[in-house]
Every structure is written in structure tokens, then in C-alpha cells.
Structure 1
Amino acid sequence: MTHDPNGSPPGGVLERLTAALGAEAGRRGPPPVERWNPDYCGEIPLRIAADGTWHYNGSPIARPAMVKLFSTILRRDPDGRTVLVTPVERVGIEVEDAAFLAVEMAVEGEGENRVIAFRTNLDDVVPLDDAHPLRVEQDREGGFKPYIAVRHGLWARITRALAYDLVALCEEREEAGERWFGLAAGGRFHRLARAAELS
């Protein structure tokens, strides 16, 4: 990782970002990070570990309120880089797996009318719908890791315990001549994997 190329001491980066956010504090709703396009200022020594813990300069950030604040200005740029962005500064950070963890799931109803929503470790509430789809990756042991889209190109990894709960809701269906494993919710069937890949 590199520090701020402008020569500022690394300890000042978070303070600058916080100060820039302070200017936005009077606005209602989440910061409009999709509209902010300041120059890229290099990487800072901030890392989101696979367990969802945020680290700065190698040490966990002990203030949950600070982590939540910075999570509101997080986005994934088209080049694949995850950045913290304000109206005046854009800095890259390291993400080991996903920016968020989905730690709680609420389910109501059945079939296509079923409503499923997830809460992340930073208290975002994300419904399973067209704007927030699921995706699945294989882990090193050959198992599966499900993710749900949160916002601005960022994903939440669904914890192992919730993944088992999610699988319990799944079924096989034939669509477009293929058998799919997935679940019905939010008015449609969400495909997770071809049934042949699971056998």
C-alpha cells in the first residue's frame, strides 16, 4: 500500500475525510457518492478484513460510529477499485472479501410473494430484489459463498449460518430448458446455480 501522494501524514487522512463529511452533515439521506468524482489520491492503509473488521495502519478501528460513517462514503469504481470518496478526495482501500457481512435475515410469506431482507454488520437493510441480487462463489473447500448486492457496486457476504437458512428456502426449477437451484422471492425466481453443478 502507498500513503497519500500529497505528502500528508497517514494519521491525517481519516481526519480529512471526516472533516469533508462534516460539510455534508446537513444533507438528508445517504451521501450522493455516485455523483462525486474528485481526483484519485492513492491508497491509504485501511483494510476491511474477511470477518468484516476495519483496520487502519494494521490496527482494528475501535469506534463503530467511525466505521459506520466511513461505510457511507464507500463505493466500487468501474476499474474494480474500492474507494472512500468525498467531494474533494478519493482514496483506495483494501477489501479482503466483501465490504459488508449479512448477519441477519428476515423472511415473510411464501413463493414469489415471499419477502426476504438482510441486515448487514453496519446496519444496512437490504431487500432481495432486482436491485439487490444474489450471487454465489465457491470457497476453497468446494462449498458455496453467497453474496447480496448492497449499494454502489459493493456486496455483503452472507454468513455461513444464514447461508444454511437460505438453502433451506431453495428449490429446483426448470427455466429456459435447464434445471436451476434457487429461491423465489420479491416476485421472481432467483437462480443461484445450475442443478447439474451441484450434483
Structure 2
Amino acid sequence: MPMAPPPDFDTLTVADIARLSDTGQLPPVELWNPAHCGDSEMRIARDGTWYHQGSPIGRPAMVRAFSRILRREPDGGYVLVTPVEKLDIAVDDAPFVAVEMKAEGEGRDATLAFRLNTGELVTASAAHPLRFIEHDDGPHPYLHVRGGLEALVGRSVYYELAECALAGDDAVPGVWSAGTFFALQP
């Protein structure tokens, strides 16, 4: 059965996004423990582009399918896993990129929802926290997606977050989402 395309982010409310996120049926990769089979010869670049043997994977449905069987290992590495095989995959920064944000409400009542480069939808919350790491080239914000997998928040989306933080009246610059405060400083 072909995988359905992701919903149109622009037409969804934050409540729709939360509902869709909660019902996202993902394979139980955390339960699969096959023998390690080698290297997938795949890489996820910092900008979210997936490569196989050095060539970009141009089919979004293929990238979505692979992203559903991606798992973070206890040693910090990444693998593609099925019930019968496990293959290493290189990840330059984070395996996902948050490419769009939708905000509803204000202050403590705000909710922030994100669309990832794979079409997956995630609402920032205590279960899906935002964190900020300072690097030489500036802050790098990350959103927890699932099972130790994170999305690098794209630069334009980060600017939206910063705008929300500056509009707030909290003592420390930050944003609220689903009842949780996320400070913009590490």
C-alpha cells in the first residue's frame, strides 16, 4: 500500500496537528533487534537531504519511508532497522529539519507545532522539548521528535521562535508551548 502524502500544513490548525501527531502509526523499531548487517551507504546532510551512495534521494515518499525505520542507538549512532536487518546511516547533525512552524495562543497558553522535512508533524511539549545549543556560528535549536531523534530547527523557523520569545514578557527570553517553557539560551 503506498504511503499517503503528508497533509497540507497551511490548512491545519494546531489542534489538528496534535491529533495527527498522536495517531502517527510508526513501526515499533525500538522492539526490533536484528543482527547488524553493515553500512546502508546512506547519509543525512545537515540540511535534511538524504543521500544514497553520494546521490540525493529525490523521491519524498522514499525519504518518508526510510525516516520511519530510523533509530538512534544507545552509543549515539543511527541505524535503519527492520525486523530482519540493521544498517548504519551517517547523520551530519540531526536526522530531521523543522521547516515550518505554526503558533496558536499567547504566553503560557501558546502551542507551537512544526512540520519536518519528511512531512511529520510535531508539537513542542514536555514530551517533545525544544533545546538550544550555542555553536561558533550561533545558536542551534533542536526539537525532540521521538526515541532520541531530533530535528534541527531551520534558520527561518528559528527567527520565528526568536520573534515569539521577544514578544513575551518572561524574565528569560523563551517560548511557551503546551504548558512548557523553553528558554532560548542554553
| Aligned residue type for 1:68 | R
Counterpart of 1:50 (choices 35, 43, 46) is 46
| Aligned residue type for 1:192 | L
Distance 1:95 1:172 in 2: 37
Counterpart of 1:185 (choices 164, 171, 177) is 177
Are 1:166 and 2:161 matched, yes or no?
yes
Counterpart of 2:35 (choices 22, 35, 39) is 39
Residue number in structure 2 paired with 1:107: 103
Distance 1:173 1:106 in 2: 21
Q: Cα offset for 1:172?
A: 6.6
CA RMSD of aligned residues (A): 1.6
Larger Rg: 1
| Aligned residue type for 1:31 | P
Distance 1:172 1:110 in 2: 11
Q: Cα offset for 1:78?
A: 1.0
Residue number in structure 2 paired with 1:154: 149
How many equivalent residue pairs?
Answer: 161
Q: Which runs of 5+ in 2 are unaligned?
A: 1-23
Distance 1:166 1:111 in 2: 13
Residue number in structure 1 paired with 2:116: 120
Deviations 1:109-166 (A, max 9, x none): 011111110000101100010110011122332x111110111211111111110110
| Greater RCO (CA < 8 Å, at least 6 residues apart) | 2
Are 1:94 and 2:90 matched, yes or no?
yes
Q: Cα offset for 1:44?
A: 2.3
Contact 2:131–2:182, Cα closer than 8 Å, also in 1: no
| Aligned residue type for 1:99 | P
Using structure 1 for the length normalisation, give the TM-score. 0.76
Residue number in structure 2 paired with 1:78: 74
Residue number in structure 1 paired with 2:8: none
| Aligned residue type for 1:167 | A
Residue number in structure 1 paired with 2:9: none
Residue number in structure 2 paired with 1:5: none
Identity %: 49
SS at match of 2:141: strand
Contact 2:111–2:176, Cα closer than 8 Å, also in 1: no
Distance 2:136 2:61 in 1: 33
| Aligned residue type for 1:187 | G
